[in-house]
């Protein structure tokens, strides 16, 4: 999941492929400051590297490969995690329009958004790059929860933060949001809800696409085929119903229940005893206003914020506590290998890599040329054998030379060779080269925990503590999955 290699850490200006991205220092309307880099353009190759070749393992779309526009998780050279949305080839035929839209959305910076960091417009490819949100979608936590239903206080917080996000976007001239639904709200490292920036982009060249079920579509959309700011308020009303009921109820059915004063049928039974009748009635009133048939009768985002602020409960409780999640993506307890990376115990890591052998190369991409049937294959494999022997005997300079000969021939690709050369570089106090090789190992084998751990060790050696901790957490998660399998 790596990409080409930056020369500076994420807390400074990052340099990637000669492009300097100055950290933004944009104050938003909530008085907070964003430390995100400015919007930039990426190449397809950079995003291919960041997502390990758009590997299936990195797909995070709710509908996986079958989704018309697939979203992948990825990681840049400075360890910043990203979400990459890859559009269907028939979308955005006008490259200029795509770039203009992306650049405009990319100027937005708010802690209520999963902000757009960049885009790629190369050939037929149209890709968007955003902040990665690790704690899934509102739909997952409301409709498909596994450990605990979402608490009432957290549901009210989601409603407020979403209203604030829409108010911010409106204040910056981006009042239109396409297909607002529970899948568009994601949760960050601290479990705070954020609105995905992807919906701020038109999802078709004429802005007419609306992918939700017709039962949830604003009535005026059926007449005109276009999204308006008032349409967004209608969709906000359906989200308030989702939060209240824990189900995706068609607005027409909900309005019938409201008219009949049958609020009990509308309320999630999991919320019993968590809120007063007055609070429930007020949320239903807000939903009813948003779902008015006439667009002009619906509230605007600013008035929604004003109405939702007084309803907030447990305001001192952090979101991750309300959601029952670890803070900041905190990792599980470290395994012996993770501890060795943290302590920079390179001898221990060497022992692990030596015992590991090449079993993780199974399934890795192997490219064979015609030269395989000539003396070239003999020489290539001989270089690897000599490298393995040097590595085993801790002759790391020689190991680097032999592995380099094997890699440069290019007839075979091996993540284990890159991992072993990475450690050899670390042993030789060549930390940047070690990081480059660890990233390459992960590009070849995206879910291999060893590659993440080696990145962590190299980053610790470079003094890039924050990025090293991120790589260490990632290695822990991947190792747990590896051991479970």
For tokens 């991120």, the residue is: 470
Locus of tokens 């395989």? 372
- In the residue annotation, 179 being an active-site residue is answered as yes
Give yes or no for a contact between 237 and 290, defined as CB atoms under 8 angstroms apart.
yes
- Backbone phi, psi, residue 223, to 5°: -85, -40
Q: What is the 3-state secondary structure (H, E, C) of the chain?
A: CCCCCCCCCCCCCEEECCEEECECCCECCCCCECCCECCEECCHHHHHHHCCCCCHHHECCCCHHHCCCEEEEEECCCCCEEEEEECCCCCCCCHHHHHHHHHHHHCCCCCCEECEEEEEEECCEEEEEEECCCCCEHHHHHHCCCCCCCCHHHHHHHHHHHHHHHHHHHHCCCCCCCCCCHHHEEECCCCCEEEEHHHHCCCCCCCCCCCCCHHHCCHHHHHHCCCCHHHHHHHHHHHHHHHHHCCCCCHHHHHHHHHCCCHHHHCCHHHCCCCCHHHHHHHHHHHHHHCCCCHHHCCCHHHHHHHHHHHCCCCCCCHHHHCCCCHHHCCCCCCHHHHHHHHCCHHHHHHHHHHHCCHHHCCCCCCCCHHHHCHHHHHHHHHHHHHHHHHHCCCHHHHHHHHHHHHHHCCCCCHHHHHHHHHHHHHCCCHHHHHHHHHHHHHHCCCCHHHHHHHHHHHHHCCCHHHHHHHHHHHHHHHHHHHHC
What is the rounded (10 degree) CA torsion for 63, 69, 75, 80? Answer: -100
Q: Which of 35, 124, 167, 179 is catalytic?
A: 179
For residue 195 the two structure tokens come to 């609105």
Q: Residue 459 class from Cβ within 10 Å (0-12 exposed, 13-18 middle, 19+ buried)? A: buried
d(CA 14, CA 18): 10
Query: Which tokens belong to 470?
Result: 């991120």
Quick check: 97 and 142 in contact, CB under 8 A? Answer: no
Give every CB contact of residue 6 below 8 A, 6+ residues apart in sequence.
14, 15, 16, 76, 77, 78
**What positions carry a catalytic annotation?**
179
């Amino acid at each position: 999941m790596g990409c080409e290699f930056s020369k500076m850490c994420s807390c400074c200006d990052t340099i990637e492929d000669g492009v300097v991205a100055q950290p933004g220092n944009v104050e938003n309307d909530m008085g907070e400051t964003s430390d995100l880099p400015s919007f930039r353009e990426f190449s397809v190759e950079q995003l291919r590297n960041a997502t390990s070749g758009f590997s299936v393992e990195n797909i995070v779309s709710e509908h996986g490969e079958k989704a018309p526009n697939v979203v992948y998780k990825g990681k840049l050279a400075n360890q910043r995690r990203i979400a990459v949305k890859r559009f269907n080839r028939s979308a955005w035929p006008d490259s200029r329009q795509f770039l203009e839209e992306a650049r405009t959305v990319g100027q937005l910076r708010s802690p209520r958004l999963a902000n757009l960091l960049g885009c790629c417009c190369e050939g037929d490819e149209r890709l968007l790059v955003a902040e990665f949100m690790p704690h899934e979608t509102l739909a997952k936590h409301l409709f498909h929860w596994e450990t605990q239903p979402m608490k009432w206080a957290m549901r009210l917080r989601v409603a407020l933060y979403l209203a604030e996000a829409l108010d911010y976007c409106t204040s910056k001239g981006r009042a239109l949001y396409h297909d607002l639904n529970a899948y568009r709200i994601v949760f960050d490292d601290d479990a705070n809800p954020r609105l995905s920036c992807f919906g701020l982009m038109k999802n078709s060249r004429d802005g007419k696409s609306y992918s939700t079920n017709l039962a949830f579509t604003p009535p005026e959309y059926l007449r005109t085929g276009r999204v308006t700011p008032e349409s967004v308020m209608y969709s906000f009303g359906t989200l308030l119903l989702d939060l209240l009921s824990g189900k995706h109820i068609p607005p027409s059915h909900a309005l019938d229940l409201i008219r009949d004063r049958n609020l009990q049928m509308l309320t999630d039974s999991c919320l019993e005893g968590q809120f007063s009748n007055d609070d429930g009635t007020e949320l239903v009133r807000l939903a009813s206003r948003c779902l008015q048939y006439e667009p002009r009768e619906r509230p605007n985002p600013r008035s929604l914020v004003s109405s939702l602020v007084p309803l907030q409960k447990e305001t001192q409780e952090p979101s991750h506590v309300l959601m029952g999640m670890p803070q900041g993506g905190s990792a599980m307890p470290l395994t012996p290998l993770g501890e060795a990376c943290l302590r920079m115990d390179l001898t221990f890591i060497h022992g692990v890599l030596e015992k590991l052998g090449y079993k993780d190369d199974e399934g890795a991409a192997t490219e064979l040329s015609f030269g395989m049937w000539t003396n070239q294959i003999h020489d290539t494999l001989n270089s690897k054998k000599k490298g393995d022997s040097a590595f085993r005997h801790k002759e790391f300079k020689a190991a680097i030379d032999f592995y380099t000969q094997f890699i440069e021939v290019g007839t075979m690709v091996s993540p284990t060779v890159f991992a072993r050369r990475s450690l050899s570089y670390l042993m030789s106090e060549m930390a940047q080269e070690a990081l480059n090789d660890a990233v390459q190992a992960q590009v070849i084998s995206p879910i291999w925990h060893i590659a993440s751990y080696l990145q962590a060790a190299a980053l610790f050696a470079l003094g890039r503590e924050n990025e090293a901790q991120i790589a260490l957490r990632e290695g822990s998660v991947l190792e747990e999955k590896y051991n479970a399998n």
